[in-house]
Amino acid sequence: MTVPMRCVTLIALLAVAACSGMSRSASGSGGPLADPYAGGPARWQRQSVPSTSSCRSVSAVSALIAWAGCSAGRVFRTVDGGVTWTAYTVSGAARLDFRGIKAFDANTAVIASAGPAELGQAHIYRTVDGGKQWSLAWSDTTKGIFLDGIAFWDARHGFTFSDPVGGRLVILTTDDGGSSWQRTPTVNIPPVLQREAAFAASNTQLTVQGSSNAWIATGGGAEARVFRSTDRGRTWSVSSSGVPGGASAGLFGIAFSDAKHGLAVGGDYAIARGPTDYALRTNDGGVTWTSAGSQRPDGVTQGLTLIPASSPPAFVAVGAHGTAFTRDFGATWIFGDTLTSWGVGFAGPGTGWVAGPRGRIAKFTGSPK
């Protein structure tokens, strides 16, 4: 469902941020922010990209390699830590918006386009030569199919999903690195609520963990819910999150630090920042959800990712009002820049990227300029 629209450890970063005024009040009323592009030991740095395509998906492979899926059939890639970016155009895909991406190395990546299948906008492509050429791995023209994102457990096993057709989500799995895709039988997927779907906002409304666990966050219906699988997407169950949904409301980002502990963010995208923003946490693998704390994520609910290898587990949220970090499962947040970001991906505690409108890419770094 479309939407309008480091040389120091992470813990050291959070301490620096807290001491430098990079925070907003718990009430969400806002406060002074340090300039994220000014000098200092840790900050976001703007990257130079030769394109103005907007990007809603980021895949960070390592400290040197990152990819972004973008509008107008574009895919961005860096192999030197963001010093230079190349913008590739997928042949025949100028009308497509790649809101799902997973990269495995400097050469291999899989992308999924968001848009109505009946208008020729539901495609999955794969490259093995660094984005120069892309092969079409899957497409469909069935009315109602609208791919929302893509995720992989490893280099061979992954899944993607679509808004519902016939009252159930359309879920596809791959066991060969995205070269071919198989549809999960509808009988293995719980029915959706009326108007329930997912928001193709950041490629983080789905997530995987371990070798077989997966979750999908939804909205649009009377309540926001979480679908979950423990067998690589072959069978699914669903739980209520306990918060209402709506035409523009629900869960937008979800991430797990292990099989039991996870965080989700959501709200109403028609209200960019305010009392509709919330964070939820789970301690039982997504069966039940509770409020993460009294502090709201305040305008950063469009995307969410776990920072790999962080201890304690740290998450980054992004949205209309910038970025924020939490290392207590959303109970408190430390805010960074205030520039709109949609896609987010981290390769480890010292390296991550965010992407947003008109080709804006920013890199997190713990090193001074």
Assign residue 148 the CATH number of its domain.
2.130.10.10
For residue 34, pLDDT beyond 80:
no
**319 contacts 305 by C-beta, under 8 angstroms:** no
Taking residues 257-278, what's their average pLDDT? 95
For residue 95, pLDDT beyond 60:
yes
The answer to whether position 3 is within a domain reads no
pLDDT at residue 190, rounded to an integer: 98
pLDDT at residue 230, rounded to an integer: 98
For 11, phi then psi, to 5°, come to -60, -40
Q: What is the residue range of 193's domain?
A: 10-365
What mean pLDDT value characterizes the chain?
Answer: 90
The answer to whether position 267 is within a domain reads yes
Band the pLDDT of 110: cuts 50, 70, 90: very high
CA dihedral (130, 131, 134, 138) positive or negative:
positive
Long-range contacts of 102-107 (CB under 8 A, 24+ apart): 102/59, 102/150, 102/151, 102/152, 102/158, 102/178, 103/59, 103/61, 103/65, 103/66, 103/67, 103/77, 104/61, 104/152, 104/155, 104/177, 105/61, 105/65, 106/61, 106/65, 106/77, 106/79, 106/130
pLDDT at residue 26, rounded to an integer: 31
pLDDT at residue 43, rounded to an integer: 80
For residue 5, pLDDT beyond 60:
no
The answer to whether position 5 is within a domain reads no
The answer to whether position 228 is within a domain reads yes
Band the pLDDT of 366: cuts 50, 70, 90: low
State pLDDT tens for residues 320-344: 999 999 999 999 999 988 999 999 9
pLDDT at residue 151, rounded to an integer: 98
The answer to whether position 1 is within a domain reads no
The answer to whether position 2 is within a domain reads no
Taking residues 211-238, what's their average pLDDT? 98
pLDDT at residue 311, rounded to an integer: 94
pTM over 0.85: yes
The answer to whether position 44 is within a domain reads yes
Identify the residue with better confidence: 298 or 13: 298
pLDDT at residue 1, rounded to an integer: 75
The structural domain count of the chain equals 1
* Pick from 119, 123, 178: nearest CA to 144: 119
For residue 3, pLDDT beyond 90:
no
The answer to whether position 352 is within a domain reads yes
Half-sphere CA count of 86, side-chain side, radius 13 A: 13
For residue 16, pLDDT beyond 60:
no
- Decide: residue 15, CB within 10 A, 0-12 exposed, 13-18 middle, 19+ buried: middle
For residue 160, pLDDT beyond 50:
yes
Identify the residue with better confidence: 24 or 22: 24
For residue 156, pLDDT beyond 50:
yes
State pLDDT tens for residues 173-195: 999 999 999 999 999 999 999 99
